[in-house]
Amino acid sequence: MKQSSKGLLGILLLGAFPLMMFAQGNSVKTELPKGWHLLDKDQDGYYGISIDKAYEFTRAKKLKSKQVLVAVIDSGVDTLHEDLKNIIWTNPREIPGNGIDDDHNGYIDDVHGWNFIGGRDGHNVKDDAQEEARVYYHFKQQFDVQQLDSSKWSQDDKDNYRMWVKARKTIMGDGIESSVDLLMLHRVLSACVKSDSILQQAMGKAEYTGNDLDTFQTANPETKSAKSVFLYPFKANKIMDMTNKAFLNEFSEQVDQEEKKASAKKTPPRDYRKEIVKDNEEDINDRYYGNNDVMAEDPMHGTHVSGIIGAERGNGKGMDGIADNVRIMMIRAVPNGDEHDKDIALAIRYAVDNGARVINMSFGKNLSPEKKWVDSAVRYAESKGVLLIHAAGNDNADVDTADNFPNPNILHSDYTASNWITVGASSDPLAEPGFRSYTASFSNYGKQEVDVFAPGTRIYSTLPGGKNYGNLQGTSMAAPVVAGLAAFILEYYPGLSPQQVKYCIEHSAVPPPAKVKKPGAEDEMVNLSDISRSGGIINAYEAIKLAATLSTTDAHRNDKIQRSTLSNKKD
């Protein structure tokens, strides 16, 4: 599932429309500027990553940049966006549109990347089920029996049973959890859609923000009523700079997910992927499937992530990405729902085989039935010198104890991949007026499993539509901040290994000036080192200075430093 903030997706409905709210959001009552995540505390007053100071360092050193390819495994990307079209990767070995696999990699016309959740007929997967529902019904006949004999079980049988029990609890519940009122959700959504239609006509534009709506004046009773209905959730949830389209898109997705959860108690989930993709999902060697449509059904999430990493800098349009000499390879593998392990494993391998040096993965789920395939792909990336960046998740949970997949911990082994960074979401205290911390209220954390924190609240970036921009938040946004920094380091010090880049990012991370709020615990103050390995928020200036001290001719020694200090073994 795309790791957007549950602040944007988590609808809390307590029986009446005025109580519908997002758990976290963006406030119009602050002066937090667009692009605050790039700024410097000393120079600008905001807890960003000091990217301008980092570029000043490279200019002072008279360093020349070398282009870096970053793969984004996500929902899709708007390849025609004004701030992205010049930085979208184009496969130099492929002739566009000729229907021939010119580069002989098994993927026909993979001009800008590949879509592993598309069909050969051009249709694409948009929606999919929870992994828990898929697992529960897949193993129900095998394990849901009265006389269960486990005496001759293999290790796979034991793993599958434990996974099935967890899925069953999630799907069937424990009898005490409160259920979402789907009828009320649909009424709220319908009221918002109707009001939006009226407002678009009255305001004379198809897209507007909560701020635009707040200043809009009308004497028409129907329009005034529509304004009141639609403005309330923006104000109540402090998302005034979100657009109407983004709000309705996220709200609709949440309603869809709640419907799927309710349906899964009685009915096996629809196999969306099988209907469209038509590969043998149980065979990892059946790998040449999908299509080349990397925009597909819903590219909002992937477009936003891509812009954070590398939207064209200095062109006077919209916003600036972090890295100034990158190309973005889009690999579509993440639907509205939980991703499939096979698609993720093959997406990682595709990225590695086609030259990516950094892979951003802003998605995650609670179960991984084919983790061994993903682990194998992670080890493959490690062997080829590719750095993997993963979002920690948005359940304000301790992922030292709560499952979060994918992860770098190799199944049935003490080994932890050395080319992996797990990212939690930091914040400026102004970004969440109801929480006010250097941590984001929604972020997952973990003293062992979360490596660093990076800005993840109110992140302004590209949105689909050619010229659209807006704020989203989540560890989905924090991960590409780190991916952008990794690419920036590699631009100017291309000889560094993934382990050295990881070393630079983590050892230069800056501890916040005070204790932070433990995500999900308003009254519990902790050191950031209590909930992450590095105990710091990434800083591009400090990271590039550290990178300058590492000798590329001494890579082996520095790899050993990285492995010994941050440990490639699980503690």
Give dist(CA 409, CA 570) in Å, integer: 7
- Do the beta carbons of residue 439 and residue 427 sit within 8 Å? yes
Residues facing 73 on adjacent strands: 331, 361
pLDDT in tens, 230-284: 998 888 776 787 789 888 887 887 787 777 777 778 899 999 999 999 999 999 9
pLDDT in tens, 514-565: 999 999 888 899 999 999 999 999 999 999 999 999 965 444 454 444 444 3
pLDDT in tens, 426-453: 999 988 877 899 999 999 999 999 999 9
Q: What pLDDT is stored for residue 110 in this prediction?
A: 98
Residues present in the chain in total: 571
pLDDT in tens, 123-146: 999 999 999 999 999 999 999 998
Q: What pLDDT is stored for residue 297 in this prediction?
A: 83
**CB-based contacts of 406: which residues, under 8 Å, 6+ apart?**
344, 361, 364, 368, 371, 374, 378, 390
* Beta strands 468-472 and 459-463, pairing class: antiparallel
Using alpha carbons, select from 441, 443, 420, 423 the residue that is nearest to residue 432.
441
**CB-based contacts of 183: which residues, under 8 Å, 6+ apart?**
none
- Do the beta carbons of residue 241 and residue 470 sit within 8 Å? yes
Give dist(CA 356, CA 91) in Å, integer: 12
Largest interatomic CA distance in the chain? 75
Cis upstream peptide for 498 (omega within 30°): no
- Do the beta carbons of residue 474 and residue 485 sit within 8 Å? no
Residues facing 569 on adjacent strands: 415
- Do the beta carbons of residue 331 and residue 110 sit within 8 Å? no
Q: What does residue 250 show for φ and ψ, rounded to 5 degrees?
A: -70, -40
Q: Residue type for 19, please?
A: L
Domains parsed from the chain with CATH numbers: 1-30+178-269 (no CATH), 64-128+289-566 (3.40.50.200), 131-177 (no CATH)
Q: What pLDDT is stored for residue 406 in this prediction?
A: 98
Residues facing 468 on adjacent strands: 463
Number of C-beta neighbours around residue 115 at 10 A: 27
pLDDT in tens, 513-528: 999 999 988 889 999 9
User: Treating both helix axes as pointing N-terminal to C-terminal, what angle do 498-507 and 540-549 enclose, rounded to 10 degrees?
Assistant: 130
Number of C-beta neighbours around residue 153 at 10 A: 13
Task: Please give the average per-residue pLDDT across 489-505, as a whole number.
Answer: 98
pLDDT in tens, 287-344: 999 999 999 988 999 999 999 999 999 999 999 999 999 999 999 999 999 999 999 9
User: By three-state DSSP, how is residue 361 classified?
Assistant: strand
- Do the beta carbons of residue 238 and residue 25 sit within 8 Å? yes
For the chain, what is the radius of gyration of the CA atoms? 23
DSSP state of 223: H
Strand residue runs (E) in 427-541: 452-455, 459-463, 468-472, 516-517, 525-526
Question: Secondary structure of 295-357 in the HEC alphabet?
Answer: CCCCCHHHHHHHHHHHCCCCCCCCCCCCCCCEEEEEEECCCECCCCHHHHHHHHHHHHHCCCC
Give dist(CA 314, CA 296) in Å, integer: 29
Q: What pLDDT is stored for residue 427 in this prediction?
A: 97
Residues facing 292 on adjacent strands: none
Q: Which two tokens stand for residue 509?
A: 């991370």
pLDDT in tens, 112-122: 999 999 999 99
Residues facing 296 on adjacent strands: none
* Higher pLDDT among residues 25 and 518, named by residue: 518
pLDDT in tens, 178-213: 456 778 888 889 999 999 999 999 999 998 988 899
User: Treating both helix axes as pointing N-terminal to C-terminal, what angle do 341-353 and 371-383 enclose, rounded to 10 degrees?
Assistant: 10
State the DSSP string of 193-240: HHHHHHHHHHHT-S--BHHHHHH-----HHHHHHHHHHHHHHHHTT-T
**CB-based contacts of 102: which residues, under 8 Å, 6+ apart?**
93, 94, 95
User: By three-state DSSP, how is residue 6 classified?
Assistant: helix
Number of C-beta neighbours around residue 28 at 10 A: 16
Number of C-beta neighbours around residue 195 at 10 A: 22
Using alpha carbons, select from 90, 488, 456, 548 the residue that is nearest to residue 321.
488
